[in-house]
Structure 1
Amino acid sequence: MATRRFRVPAALVATAAALTLGATTAASAVAPSSTTVTPAGHSFAAKLNGKATFTAGSTTMTCTVSASVPNGGSTNQIPAAPGNHNAAGPVSAAINPPTFSGCTTSIFGVGVTVTSNATNGQWSISAQYGSPISAGLTMPKGGVVIKTSGLASCTLTASPGGPTSVPGTWTNGSPSKLAIANAPVAATGTGGFLCPTGNQTATFSATYDVTDTTDAAQQITVTS
């Protein structure tokens, strides 16, 4: 799948807000914690660790390669200080649409291609410090299009009505990871026999390794 962007989403451009328990008065109040993403100003890449799956109805599409990488522009870059810190919410960054390849379907005799785009807006990735650390992709309208061929000729368009936040969790490490597990994504399908048609609630699962491409010796880290 082609194209790119970042906001930890979702992307493939994902907003996710993690809430932590705050001070209470007469009733308990919930307030977002502060978030800092380092190293400030560094570029990063997100590359699939394992498999990415899209499931719509009884059909599952599986891809073995997916990535969002810098292209020399302002995408896939942690904001420079002080923009890499938010005292009361998530930190986000634009990313290039994640590409997808090595894709197959759960239906025998059916081929599949998965294509991403930024035609209708930016992909992004965001992170919110907490326990766990919340993270995700924001996918623009129509940001992923899945087409099958063979026994079933189908088209599935993700996020048809507007931007979609694809929630996940973040783990600091070497490399750090963004994990998305069965996140719901609105979709609409067209086609004939064996195709998921009409409005769908598809699910997306994937784990991405997020690495520093400015300095490979450093790690992308989310703290308070």
Structure 2
Amino acid sequence: MSVPRPRPRPFPARSRTAVAVAAAGVLALSWSGGALAAQQASTTVDPAGAAFEAVLDGTATFTAGTVVVTCQVSSTSPGGGNNLVPAAPGNHNPNGAVSGPINSPDFGSCSTNVPLVSATVAVADPVWEMTMQFGAPSVGTMVVPAGGIVVTTRGLASCTATVSPDAPVPVGGTWTNGNPASTLAFDTTAPVEVEGGFGCPTSATTSDFTATYLVTNADDPAAPITVSG
């Protein structure tokens, strides 16, 4: 359907939906230079050392075939040493991206476009990684772990879709500086594998993902999180 780590939590039946949210990343601002950092522009994330949270603005949608799952709630907040801009000088990379771990976003209050079919979205791994790259536009890349997102529907169509079932998938969104909140907008596609019976889009091989997050400084809301060169 349709950016030493803790072990993934168990999740429902292993029907797989590899949602390829293009670009690279997971809502875990990885702050140490990610795989896409090589040979790219200088990047600085400010304020150094700040804790940040990201809250969904609007809705998040997962689409595979004709089935659309829409979630009203999604967020990631600081905790456990994650969701932190690196302390200086680690918040600046003269040769590419700045990256680091974030707590995986949750997804709630989800529904489908199919009558009498409900949906839930589970996140298997509690810690993701995210990379920020300055550019035109700047890009925030979340890396979804293998099997990191599982979308399950119940009712007239009982399906299971697993995002990135076999390997981590980088998903990239456009970063826009703002005050008091910057935005990270995803409108991308990723590989998907779906299992289930009648009404399930089992022939789908990709899934679209759209969502916009407002990213704020949890320590000092008056000092926005920004990405520059």
Short-chain TM bin? 0.7 to 0.9
Aligned partners of 2:99 and 2:89: how far apart in 1? 13
**TM-score between the two structures when normalised by the length of structure 2:** 0.83
Structure 1 partner of 2:216: 211
Q: Quick one: structure 1 residues 70 and 64, their matched pair in 2 at CA, closer, same or farther if it must change by over 3 Å?
A: same
Aligned partners of 1:112 and 1:208: how far apart in 2? 21
Aligned partners of 1:98 and 1:39: how far apart in 2? 22
Aligned partners of 1:9 and 1:97: how far apart in 2? 15
Check the 8 A contact 1:13/1:94 in 2, yes or no: yes
Structure 2 partner of 1:39: 47
Give structure 1 regions of 4+ aligned residues with deviation exceeding 2 angstroms. 8-19
Unaligned runs of 5+ in 1: 20-30
- Give the paired residue count: 203
Structure 2 partner of 1:23: none
Q: Are residue 98 (structure 1) and residue 105 (structure 2) matched?
A: yes
Q: Are residue 53 (structure 1) and residue 61 (structure 2) matched?
A: yes
Q: Deviations over 1:177-213 (max 9, x none)?
A: 00111x1122211110011226621111100000000
Q: Secondary structure at the match of 1:67?
A: strand
Check the 8 A contact 1:51/1:64 in 2, yes or no: yes
Q: Deviations over 1:140-174 (max 9, x none)?
A: 01110011000011100000011111011100002
Structure 2 partner of 1:88: 95
Check the 8 A contact 1:76/1:96 in 2, yes or no: yes
Aligned partners of 1:99 and 1:132: how far apart in 2? 26
Alpha-carbon RMSD across the aligned residues, in angstroms, is 2.1
Aligned partners of 1:43 and 1:110: how far apart in 2? 38
How much has 1:60 moved relative to structure 2?
Answer: 0.7
Say which of 163, 170, 181 aligns to 1:165. Answer: 170
Aligned partners of 1:16 and 1:207: how far apart in 2? 23
Aligned partners of 2:124 and 2:74: how far apart in 1? 14
Q: Are residue 74 (structure 1) and residue 81 (structure 2) matched?
A: yes
Unaligned runs of 5+ in 2: 1-8, 10-22
How much has 1:176 moved relative to structure 2?
Answer: 0.3
**TM-score between the two structures when normalised by the length of structure 1:** 0.84
Check the 8 A contact 1:18/1:129 in 2, yes or no: no
Check the 8 A contact 2:134/2:228 in 1, yes or no: yes
* Residues 182-201 of structure 1 aligned to structure 2 (within 5 Å): 183-197=188-202, 200-201=205-206
The aligned amino acid for 2:142 is: L
Q: Secondary structure at the match of 1:145?
A: strand
Check the 8 A contact 1:144/1:158 in 2, yes or no: yes
The aligned amino acid for 2:121 is: V
Q: Secondary structure at the match of 1:80?
A: coil
